[in-house]
Structure 1
Amino acid sequence: MAFYSSAAAGTWLKRTLAAMAAIAVVLLQTPLALADGINADVKRYLTPDGPAEVKLDAQGNSARYSGEALTRGRDLFMENCAYCHANGLTLPLPPISLTLADLAGATPPRDNINGFVTYLREPMTYDGSEPSDWCRQVPESWLARPELEELAAFTLSAAEKVPGWGSVPSNR
């Protein structure tokens, strides 16, 4: 004696297969997005035409960063910075964000790789007058210089190219 009809079994099978397909898409999405070692958002916004050119120092020199390097920088940002700097905002100190204008307005400027890394090694207040308690110091034992450069390159590239980076969305 059957507890359900063959039509019900067919419906159950279709729903089960559809659910399994949906789960497979979700599970496979991340590896596919990183199949070439580049995060999908990094590829879309930061490196759609190849490596990103990022300001290296106050003299205007620049360095090129691949999608892979910016993906590593993004991962470091997400692991270490996003809690206080979601989408380029500065949650503990909202008037100062991670926009290029705000980074350039700091003393010394943080709108370049060297200035940004220097700040992370020894955080100072926005006007540069004293050590800052708002951002934690990142010693070499925690992140090596190349890692900090990739984190800085991601942040500066996002500030330049990601729509809405460092700004609060309006309700309009």
Structure 2
Amino acid sequence: MTYRLFGCLFFSLIVCLGVLLLPSTPAQAAIDSYVARYLHVTEPIDLEVSDRETRSFSPEEISQGKQSFSQSCQTCHVGGSTISFPEVSLSLEKLKGAMPSRDNINGLVAYMRKPMTYDGSEETYWCREVPESWLTQAQVENLAAFILTAAKKAPGWGTETF
């Protein structure tokens, strides 16, 4: 009995030491597997902030944007499609065609802060407004970065055949 208890304690100690001695990469842990595998973002990428400006977004920022998307947007925008209005998806083509254009960070952030109809003629209540009290400017920019990256790189994003 004593040998069995000693053996269990010794085995537990070895397992704990092994876990403690494993090399850790905290930056890698913060990168969402979908972002790395399907969006192929493992290094910082440049995205258009406006027509004249780009900004670098890290894989961690894109992953944080994906997390915000999963928590707040995915109910209506499964795979980049729009359940309530299938003809207006989050595909890059549709984002470019909106008025004003939503194919850059500033355009998407402006839309999320004050949702407008696709033609920009009036406010819409189909998409919920994202106030600063809900997502900070950095968080909403990361969300926009995820959407734009997915629109450019994810197979089937914003189509009916995802």
Q: Following the alignment from structure 1 to structure 2, what is the Cα–Cα distance between the partners of residues 116 and 35?
A: 27
**Match among 53, 57, 60 for residue 46 of structure 2:** 53
- What secondary structure sits across from 1:64 in the alignment? strand
Tell me the distance in 2 between the aligned counterparts of 1:54 and 1:46: 13
Q: 1:145 aligns with which of 137, 147, 151?
A: 137
SS of alignment partner, residue 38 of structure 2: helix
Listed as ranges, the matches of 1:1-172 within 5 Å are 35-48=28-41, 50-57=43-50, 59-169=51-161
Contact 1:46 1:52 in 2 (8 A): no
Label 1:116 to 1:104 Cα distance change in 2 as closer, same or farther (>3 A): same
For 1:126 and 1:151, locate their aligned partners in 2 and report how far apart those are by CA, in whole Å: 19
In structure 2, relative to structure 1, the CA distance for the partners of 1:105 and 1:156 (3 Å cut) is same
Instruction: Give 1:46 shift.
Output: 2.6
Q: Distance in 2 between matches of 1:130 and 1:91?
A: 20
The count of corresponding residues between Structure 1 and Structure 2 is: 137
Distance in 2 of aligned mates of 1:98 and 1:50: 24
Instruction: Describe the superposition over 1:21-80 as per-residue Cα deviations: whole angstroms up to 9, x where unpaired.
Output: xxxxxxxxxxx9x853101110123344521221111x2421111111111000000000
Counterpart residue type for residue 43 of structure 1: A
Q: Secondary structure at the residue paired with 1:132? A: coil
Could you say what the CA RMSD is over the residues aligned between the two structures, in angstroms?
1.7
Structure 1 residues 137 and 147, CA, compared in 2 at 3 Å: closer, same or farther?
same
Percent sequence identity over matched residues? 45
Deviations 1:124-144 (A, max 9, x none): 000000001110111111111
Using the size of structure 2 for normalisation, the TM-score is: 0.80
Partner amino acid for 1:160? K
| Gap regions ≥5 residues in structure 2 | 1-24
- Cα deviations across residues 75-109 of structure 1 (Å, max 9, x unaligned)? 00000000000100000101010011100100000
Tell me the distance in 1 between the aligned counterparts of 2:71 and 2:37: 21
Q: Specify the code of the residue in structure 1 equivalent to 2:145.
A: A
